[in-house]
Structure 1
Amino acid sequence: MERTELAKNYLNDYVGRLTDILNQIDPEKLGQVITTFIEAFKSGNTIYVVGNGGSAATASHMQADFRFFVRYFSKFRPKIIALTDNVPMITAIGNDNNFDDVFVEQMRGQFTSGDVLIAISASGNSPNLVKAAEFANELGGTTIAFVGFLGGRLNEISKVPLYTPNPKGDYGPIEDVHMILNHIIVNYLATDEEFLALT
């Protein structure tokens, strides 16, 4: 079989796996996530985003979209911080303390009641994300989790878990879905009257 045909078969298989996950998105949970965002924006609270590896890139991408892309349809600038972006801070904490603390240490003295933490993870079990979510819950924040596989610990402890099951170890499609969720949310805001009324 020629490589073109093999690639076509793999493409169809991958798209099928991706579609299966997208079809499992719970509209009610998605609505809760969007409502949480808008309420935080209205009250002047900050949204913090965390993740590891490819999910760290999604966290950074989310910050860019919410801080810059929204300018195309709104003058409002949301307060959103990707705790994945400060490499000196992350390496200092990881080297001098523990990698499990790289996010929670950045939250100390900064995260307050009413703030929101979004933890993005394929497995939902990354210790540094779980620790950050537990800390946010203790301070009266709202925790949102974008998780796949079996949901993991984040699915259990997050106040608004957006869990889309997929086979354990199949990272590509679930990471794609988490990026798509980011794009769905930020593009939806362009149609939301309550968000568009913010100044």
Structure 2
Amino acid sequence: MDYKDRIRTYVDLEIETLKKLDLEELNLALKALKKAFEEEKNIFIFGNGGSSATASHFQNDFNKGISEFTEKKFRFLCLNDNIATVMAIANDIGFEEVFRFQLKGRINPGDLVIAISGSGNSPNVINAVEYAKSQGNTVIGLTGFSGGKLKELADIKLHVPVNSMQVTEDIHMFFDHLMMSIFYETLAGKNHLKN
């Protein structure tokens, strides 16, 4: 079997979707991240499934990738990374509380929240976002499909307008690497094309 037509279809959809992204929302996300960096605020990030891997990747790229070369450090905290904590909350309280529980009593004024949900409707993500907003915190929402409830709630909407979880998750990683590369240059003085 020859897969070239299927490959081309996927690549074309990715390119078409990238062209539809809202650059102003990306600009707002960069400004919010820079403000949290300058004010030494925590940045809480979380998601389920593939989105949890994306959240971990964000934390790595900002806490090590950029922060290795800056005097101040990004303070990303990935709420899905501690399996023991996540499983204890899920088992003893409920899976819908795994992120909100970790924010309660820990999130402070000025802290930033990055919530990732392809559908935009994951109950545990929405519960945490609603809590963060009730505390006055800014929320960046990464979504796909119609954006769901997360797109409605988020202050900054990094929405991927496509009905494909795979392309949505690809572009969520694009957001990470795009923003990292910009800060790598503007904050760390490094050219991401020349290591």
Q: If the length of structure 2 is used for normalisation, what is the TM-score?
A: 0.93
Percentage identity across aligned positions? 35
Tell me the secondary structure at the aligned position of residue 112 of structure 1: coil
Tell me the secondary structure at the aligned position of residue 161 of structure 1: strand
Tell me the secondary structure at the aligned position of residue 68 of structure 1: helix
Letter in 1 for 2:167: P
1:76 to partner: Cα distance: 3.1
| Cα distance in 2, alignment partners of residues 96 and 154 from structure 1 | 26
What are the within-5 Å matches in structure 2 for residues 14-53 of structure 1? 14-53=10-49
Tell me the secondary structure at the aligned position of residue 150 of structure 2: helix
What are the within-5 Å matches in structure 2 for residues 5-154 of structure 1? 5=2, 7-71=3-67, 73-154=69-150
Tell me the secondary structure at the aligned position of residue 191 of structure 1: helix
Q: Which consecutive unaligned segments of at least 5 residues does structure 2 have?
A: 190-195
Letter in 2 for 1:135: Y
| Cα distance in 2, alignment partners of residues 159 and 71 from structure 1 | 26
Q: Is the 8 A contact 2:38 2:72 kept in 1?
A: no
| Cα distance in 2, alignment partners of residues 146 and 24 from structure 1 | 15
Letter in 2 for 1:82: C
Q: Which consecutive unaligned segments of at least 5 residues does structure 1 have?
A: none
Q: CA RMSD in A?
A: 1.4
Letter in 2 for 1:183: H
Q: Is the 8 A contact 1:112 1:140 kept in 2?
A: no
Q: Is the 8 A contact 1:147 1:154 kept in 2?
A: yes
| Cα distance in 1, alignment partners of residues 102 and 68 from structure 2 | 31
Q: Is the 8 A contact 2:37 2:72 kept in 1?
A: no
Count of residue pairs the alignment pairs up: 189
Q: After TM superposition, what 4+ stretches of structure 1 lie above 4 angstroms from structure 2?
A: none
Q: If the length of structure 1 is used for normalisation, what is the TM-score?
A: 0.91
Partner of 1:186: 180
